[in-house]
Structure formats: structure tokens, C-alpha cells
Amino acid sequence: MTALVLDGKKLAREMEVELSTRVQEIKRRTNGVTPVLATILVGDDPSSATYVKMKGNACQRIGMESLRVVLPQATTTDELLSEIDELNSDPRVKGILLQHPVPSQIDERKCFDRIALEKDVDGVTVLGFGAMAMNEPAYGSATPVGIMALLQHYGIGIEGKHAVVVGRSPILGKPIAMMLLNANATVTICHSKTQTLSKLVGLADIVVGAVGKPQFIKGSWIKAGAVVIDAGYHPDGIGDIELSAVIEKCSAYTPVPGG
């Protein structure tokens, strides 16, 4: 079986062309006002800094402005809330991204939920997640939205399929489960306390690896013909799924990196 490669990098390039056109239309309708995406980075985590830089570069490529807010490691919850309030009240700022994770002394959930719903472009607020889960208009979490875009772009059928999501984080496992459910899949959510995990994964038509552990999901667990979505990325270019053991028998998969 020759598996279909779900090429996320290629789709991203195509989406950027479309987004560039949409940004230009926004500028035309607002007399040249450039929409601004604000990113908040708290602390000195190098991976988080890299992600924020990538988001800024993406803004530049499509003609948006990136407003980067960098706060020290010792920032308090109240100080971060104050920064979010300023961005909420700035009419130029159309979206706010608070880079996860924040330092341990900060109440991350309180800060996420301070972001105005209309500016919650990463789907991290309780209200944003709730609207998405109820299939109401809302911004969804970035990686789950990317997964759904890939499945749609490559014509992967979801309706009536059994999807198994391994992981239950609020920005990946839970939202992708809700999105798949809204697309009429039957969804099983697995996690660290799940018993007979390998058997449940073996029942899946669509497997989503979102557990955050390198090659935790073994290729031998996955049935022939399944669609394999690996949302993990770890050093040495490996994900949450043992892709090398499944590529020859799955029907489609996301490469790592590049999915």
C-alpha cells in the first residue's frame, strides 16, 4: 500500500497566498489600516521564543503587522493581565496569542481567559473552546484547526469513521476531539489512565497522536488502512507515533516534521 502523504508545509504555503489576498482586501476596506497580531512571550524559554519568531515571520509574509510583547521570567499574574488588558483595548490589535507555557508562578488559565473572545485567535479561552465545541462560530486552537484543514484538503473522509485521539490537553487533544465529533466521527479520547490503549488504537480509522511523548504510540497498534495524524514533534525529528513501523500499512499519514 502506498500511503498518501498529508503535506502540511505545502498546504500552509497555499493558505498563505489566500491569506495575503484577504489581508489586502482588509486594508482596502479600512483605508490602508494593517491588521495587527499581538504575541506575548513571558520568560526565556528558547522553544517558545522560536515559535513566537515564526509567527511574526508568517505575519510579515502575508502583509500583517506583528506586535511582539516580551515580558521577564519573574512576571506576575497581575502584570500579565495588565498587558492583556492593554491589547484588548487597542483597536489596531485584531488577535492576541499568549505563548504557552508561561512561568509556573502565573495563573495561566486566568490569563488565557482574560483575552477578549473576539481576539482569541488561538482558541484558548473557555468561551472560545465552548463555542467551538457547540459548533458555533469561533476560532479554534491552531494545531487542531490545521489537522482538520489537512483532512479536508486531501479529501479524507471523517463522517462515520472511528477516530481515536491519544491525549487530552486543552489546546490539542480536547479541541481536536470536539472538531472530529462535530464532523460526525465517532471519537474515543485516550490518556495516561486509559486501560488497553493498544486495543483502542487498533480500532481506529483515524489515529491522532497528541500525547507529547516520543514514539509512544507503536506502529504495531495501528490497523492497516488507518489515517495517521502525528501532532507531536521531538528532538531527532520524531513525533508521538512510531511512523517508520506504520507507513507501509496506513492509507495516509502526516510526516514529522512537515505535517
Which residues have a catalytic role annotated? 55, 99, 122
User: For residue 77, what are the CA distances in angstroms to 3, 42, 158?
Assistant: 47, 11, 41
- Contacts of residue 17, Cβ cutoff 8 Å, sequence gap at least 6: none
The sheet that has 162-166: what strands, in order across it?
Answer: 4-5, 252-253, 227-230, 206-209, 162-166, 186-190
Angstrom distance (rounded) from CA 47 to CA 28: 36
Cα–Cα dist 42/184, whole Å: 38
Amino acid at 144: P
- Rounded to whole angstroms, how far apart are CA atoms 55 and 52? 5
The C-alpha cell 520568560 sits at: 43
Residues 6+ apart with CB under 8 A from 221: 197, 198, 201, 202
Burial letters for 100-124: b for 16+ Cβ neighbours within 10 Å, e otherwise? bebbeebebeebbbbbbeebbbbbb
Largest separation between any pair of C-alpha atoms in the chain: 59
